[in-house]
Amino acid sequence: MKHYRLLENVTHLAALATLSAYFFATSAANAAQSHWVQSEGGDVRIVADRPEPDGTIPAILDIRLKPGWKTYWLEPGSSGISPQVTIDPEDGIAFSGLRFPAPKAFHDGIASYTGYDHSVAFPLSLKREKTGDLLLKASVFLGICKDICIPVQADLSLSLPESLAGNPLDRARIDDAVAALPMEPSDTFKVTAASFDAAGKRLHVSLVTPEAVAPAELFLAGPPGYSFGKPEMVTSENGKVTAEIPVRIPAKGGALKSGSVVLVARSGGLSMQTPLAFD
């Protein structure tokens, strides 16, 4: 009887090992991942999945930060480096930008900046422009910082064969990154008024938010050369928020155009993103 149980256990373990080996071999064959490029403060790669019927390629820039390190948002603040991605136009893949989850504001006693203090994934807006096997080649530049800021330059590539099968683990990573993005404006979370005072170099913004207790956190990004200070004169009452935001205008700048500034608002556990249409 003991010999029978031993044989039964060995057979069971062998079956599990075979199934595990098959699963990981299949996952590796179907994977669309670049190699990790490593740095002192963290690592970066690209993960993709098979293209959708309309040509959209689900993909993320995957940033794995080490404890205590940070990276930056679209508008990084006075001491940061915004993430930049360039896709080789000869690859047959069109790239229309990165998308970002709502960031945090940080102050180190000297400078202020905006970004993330945990591992984060930025969805990539990619679309195939030709059929057949594709090779995605990307140049990535970003800052990863702790006591010092380290610029990270990474040249990443991954194959997207026409026969690529979907990978559930990769797709889950991509879907999670998309789910973490700010929502579209709604009746309960939206900007109700926005104006730009060019002479005073200030933005005036009014919102309704789903959280009536605490003011929303506001983050803004505009055209190259423009930057935005910490929101001032913030008021909040019954979910209605108003704020004034100082605007730093470049020497050759001027009045901001309606729709040229993106606002991200965080209220409680929710975030919303919208371009500002000036009154």
Q: So where are the chain's domains?
A: 29-179, 190-275
Least confident of 77-81, 117-121, 191-195, 223-227: 77-81
In this prediction the pTM is 0.85
Is the per-residue pLDDT at 48 higher than 90? Answer: yes
Q: How confident is the model at residue 27 (pLDDT cuts 50, 70, 90)?
A: very low
What pLDDT sits at residue 167?
85
Least confident of 52-66, 67-81, 260-274: 67-81
Amino acid at 230: K
In DSSP notation, 122-182 reads: EEEEEEE-SSS-EEEEEEEEEEEESSSEEEEEEEEEEEE-TTPPP-HHHHHHHHHHHHTSP
Which of 83, 86, 85, 88 lies closest to 65, judged by CA? 83
Architecture (CATH level 2) of domain 29-179: Sandwich (2.60)
Q: How confident is the model at residue 88 (pLDDT cuts 50, 70, 90)?
A: confident
CATH value of 190-275 in 1.10.3470, 2.60.40, 2.60.120, 2.130.10: 2.60.40
pLDDT digits (tens, 9 = 90+) for 114-137: 999 999 999 999 999 988 999 999
